[in-house]
Structure 1
Amino acid sequence: MTKLKHFGCLKIKHFVLFITFMGMIACRQSQDRLINIEGKQLIVDSTYAVVDSISNFILPYHNHVEKMLDSTLAYASLDISKTDGIYNTTAGNLMADIILEQAAPIFKSRTGKDLDFVLLNHGGIRSSISKGKVSARTAFEVMPFENNTVVVELKGQSVKEMLTYLIRSKRAHPIAGIQLVLDKDDSIKSLTIQGVPFDEKKSYYVATSDYLVSGGDDMFFFKDALKVTDIDYKIRNALIDYFTKVDTLAPIVDLRYYKIE
């Protein structure tokens, strides 16, 4: 009888362990796994009916945004283009000058350092500016991307690599704060930064876009940056802020970058 009593006790213990084990399995969180991704193209055309209630709800906001975008901020006294010069253009000069003017005080207030020059990319200018009124919409057309202005500290050797890139690219990449003069054989005749001759032993603070710092347009010389400071200021916002504070835009093709013929 004693053996049977012990046997029953063992069976109860085993049953309790079994229930506990099953409970632990049941409580274990299942791990979801991605099995497949599918997509299909939905064509939005005239076959889709407008929902009046939604359209009426959105209309006041739409009209407000349109009014803000089209409000005149400044006036362009000429057509501003990125194709009206070989080494520098009116559109490129305007954009680079704006970044230099708008970003310099922000960078100075945050770091105590002075901005030396600006380098942007020719392809980043997506539209010309026609003679006439200039609005916030103009800024969105010229710079539709969400690129931020960043300031990169480059040692002198990296600046020399940048110059080699500019000469070989044969494109009018926007620059400001720097003057580069080429000789007839494309060698560098002179280079000044903020009116001072270039010093290879110094490091320089260059304002550019986060896209270029990440290697965009093959500007790999930025990979050797000593420091990168994102000033959290979109290039497009800099354009809008500048348009707001000036009356007339009148950039010219000048001697900031040219070749002696």
Structure 2
Amino acid sequence: MSLAFRQLLPAIALILSLHSCGAHYSLVRIDGTSVPVDSVFDPLISGRVTEIIGDYQSDLAEEMSPVLGTSAAVMLSAAPRDYNVLANTVADILRDAASGIDEDVAFAVINVGGLRCDLPAGPISVGTAFELLPFTNTMCIVTLHGDAVLELFGQIALMGGEGVSEDVNLTVTADGRLLDARIDGVPVDGDADYRVATIDFVAEGNDGMTAFKKASGQFYPDDCLFRDIFIRHVRRLASHGQALQPKTDRRIFVK
């Protein structure tokens, strides 16, 4: 840097400072348009890029195509939250897996929003599992005091429902108030501790279930990616000649 330029630096800095201090901007409007990504762009596609993507698509299709087992019925992800058969079925799968690790697990909770597609009747492929559970969520077993469990069930009532395992029975009002909460038919004891299975995303208090932030302990078992738990469960059923059955019992009762 030349001596002359260095001598000019203070003056340049002063000019920029005065300019920035004197400039006041306010947002007048925001304009935007939708640009559909369709066949109009096909001529712009690089042949080499298409070739590379094609190779990956072929490999991916090979990995996603194996059939794990079958579903005995259609289960809808967008079913009513207070009676979501898919969410309840998946919650039971999580509960069963957690019980094999910790026999003191009392129940399981899964967020309906984490189930990203319907489960069709018939073959369940690896690809189906990835579509249903696309996130890398892992099992988490937490310890909640009874009053936090009641708070959790109150939050579930307020949201209109979530996926809960068959151990749970909730009675709620149409406007989202919790009237009664039972685990294995017994009213929740506000002074007891409960082991609860869920996924890491929910255990962090997301999707409105902030009561999980009051957990006195969290345990993340090894090799327990939630999607892998689902895959292993379906494969195990298939190995015994069984299909995945929908859990149609009602667990949340609206009065």
- TM exceeds 0.5? yes
Q: Is 1:147–1:211's contact at 8 Å kept on the other side of the alignment? A: yes
Q: Which residue of 2 aligns with 1:197?
A: 187
Residue 231 (structure 1) shift: 1.2
Q: What does 1:57-72 correspond to in 2, within 5 Å? A: 59=55, 63=58, 65-72=60-67
Structure 1 gaps of 5+ residues are 1-42
1:48 equivalent in alignment to 2:24:
no
TM-aligned CA deviation for residue 84 of structure 1: 3.0
Change (3 A) 1:217 1:135: same
Q: Alpha carbons of 1:65 and 1:49: their partners in 2 closer, same or farther (altered >3 Å)? A: closer
Residue 237 (structure 1) aligns with: 228
Secondary structure at the residue paired with 2:189? coil
User: Separation in 2 of the partners of 1:140 and 1:185?
Assistant: 35
**Number of aligned pairs?**
209
Query: 1:214 offset after TM fit, Å?
Result: 1.9
Output the amino acid matched with 2:248: V
User: Deviation digits for residues 93-150 of structure 1, max 9, x if unmatched?
Assistant: 11101101112212x2xxxx51111111111111111122111111110110001110
2:118 aligned with 1:157, yes or no?
no
Q: Which has the higher mean CA deviation after the structures are superposed, 89-98 or 184-193?
A: 184-193
Which segments of structure 1 move beyond 4 Å, counting only runs of 4 or more? 43-46, 61-65, 183-189
* Residues 25-61 of structure 1: per-residue CA shift (max 9 Å, x gap): xxxxxxxxxxxxxxxxxx9975323279x95xx95x8
Task: Report the counterpart of residue 22 of structure 1 in structure 2.
Answer: none
* 1:248 corresponds to 2:238: no
Distance 1:66 1:224, change over 3 A: same
Q: Does 1:74 align with 2:69?
A: yes
RMSD: 2.8
Query: TM-score scaled to structure 2, two decimals?
Result: 0.72
TM-score (norm 1): 0.71
Distance 2:174 2:85 in 1: 24
Partner residue in 1 for 2:88: 93
- Counterpart position of 1:35: none
Instruction: Note the alpha carbon deviations across 1:233-252, whole angstroms, 9 max, x for none.
Output: 11111110111011312214
Query: What's the secondary structure of 2:195's corresponding residue?
Result: strand
* Equivalent residue, structure 2, for 1:259: 254
Task: Give the share of equivalent positions with the same residue, in percent.
Answer: 26
CA distance in 1, matches of 2:113, 2:201: 12
**Helix, strand or coil for the counterpart of 2:45?**
coil
AA aligned to 1:134 is I
Specify the code of the residue in structure 2 equivalent to 1:173: E
Residues of 2 paired with 1:173 and 1:124: CA distance?
Answer: 10
Distance 1:184 1:236, change over 3 A: closer
Find the structure with the greater CA-based Rg: 1
> 1:195: Cα distance to partner?
3.6
Q: Describe the superposition over 1:187-243 as per-residue Cα deviations: whole angstroms up to 9, x where unpaired.
A: 545422134332111110111111122231132211111101111311111110111
Deviates more, 1:160-169 or 1:188-197: 188-197
> Which residue of structure 2 aligns with residue 10 of structure 1?
none
Instruction: State whether structure 2 residue 221 is matched by structure 1 residue 223.
Output: no
Q: Distance in 2 between matches of 1:77 and 1:165?
A: 32
